[in-house]
Amino acid sequence: MNRNRDIIETRKLAAKGRNGDNMIGEVDGAPAHINAYEAYLLDKYGKAGEEVVKDIGAGTTNPETGMKEYHGSMLGGAFGKPKGHPLHHLSMTNNVVADALDWLVPTEGTGFFSSDTGQAEKASAGNVVGQGMQVLLEKQKREMGPQGFITQGQQMEEAGIQDTYGTTREGITAAEQQLKTGTNLAFSGEVEAKIDKMTGQAESQYGLNIGESRMKADKAESDFMSNLREQMNRMMMDYQSITEEAYGGGQSFDELNKAFDEFYYNTGQ
């Protein structure tokens, strides 16, 4: 049970992430807010991946949790963008905004967004976004569906509700026997009325608890898919901002869109 409680607490903490951070990972030996792509880097490349996360991530502090957060451009430092400081962290009153914009779109056409962005940079950007899409797809498969974490969590919660209901019914049966024995009125209408009332209350509470559990699972799925789509859109915008071209897609991208279509069709959202 402690493990289940730890999972729930971690998810609550992860939900407090900002700007696409919706997971918790270890960076510099401490838990930190990260996004799906950064989780992929940490998983696949270990310490080397950790250095990349620090390079491309914001490195700011989440005001609610006090933990470091590494959201930002999914293509961040890999393509020379301001290391550790996505533009949304800069105040519009800071001179650095004008400097950053001049660097991004220079008058002399020598910056990253100049017209001579090479095919190598575009290919690299496509590879990074493709890997990011694959991470999101794998996460979608882990979280959703009959064997997904959300469904498993709901099943565990419902099993607890059923156990509680079963214990309550056993108590009602014991109370019925005691009432009948104590009054010697095995067929007393008063005893039967009390038992019927207790049974009805137990069944009503069971139904309410099951209904609430399923509503929570539905909301968790809806929130998850919404966040997933936001991360996918952020990757596509990052790609377009670097290449000045719309992202052409790929197998993972197509599968993600199919998953979105099926989810929203089935839920009527």
Read off the pLDDT of residues 233-264 as tens digits, 9 standing for 90 and up: 888 887 887 778 888 888 889 999 998 888 88
Q: How many domains does the chain have?
A: 2
Tens-digit pLDDT profile for residues 122-143? 777 787 788 888 888 888 888 8
Answer yes or no: do 103 and 175 share one domain. Answer: no
For tokens 């998953």, the residue is: 259
pLDDT at 104: 37
Give the domain-ending residue among 101, 116, 131: 116
**Among 223, 248, 253, 256, CA closest to 22:** 223
Task: Provide the domain limits for residue 17.
Answer: 1-116
Segment 181-205 shows an average pLDDT of 77
Answer yes or no: do 25 and 127 share one domain. Answer: no
Answer yes or no: do 66 and 148 share one domain. Answer: no
Answer yes or no: do 133 and 80 share one domain. Answer: no
Answer yes or no: do 79 and 159 share one domain. Answer: no
Answer yes or no: do 97 and 200 share one domain. Answer: no
Say yes or no to pLDDT of 194 above 80: yes
Answer yes or no: do 264 and 162 share one domain. Answer: yes
Give the domain-ending residue among 116, 136, 166: 116
Answer yes or no: do 227 and 100 share one domain. Answer: no
Answer yes or no: do 169 and 96 share one domain. Answer: no
- Residues 115 and 109: their CA atoms lie apart, in Å, by 7
Answer yes or no: do 125 and 177 share one domain. Answer: yes
* pTM of the predicted structure, to 2 decimals: 0.52
Give the domain-ending residue among 54, 86, 116: 116
Say yes or no to pLDDT of 187 above 60: no
Answer yes or no: do 237 and 125 share one domain. Answer: yes
59 torsion bin: left (phi>0), alpha (psi -120 to 50), beta (else): left
Answer yes or no: do 138 and 240 share one domain. Answer: yes
Percent of the chain with pLDDT over 90: 12
For tokens 């007393």, the residue is: 188
- Residues 117 and 75: their CA atoms lie apart, in Å, by 15
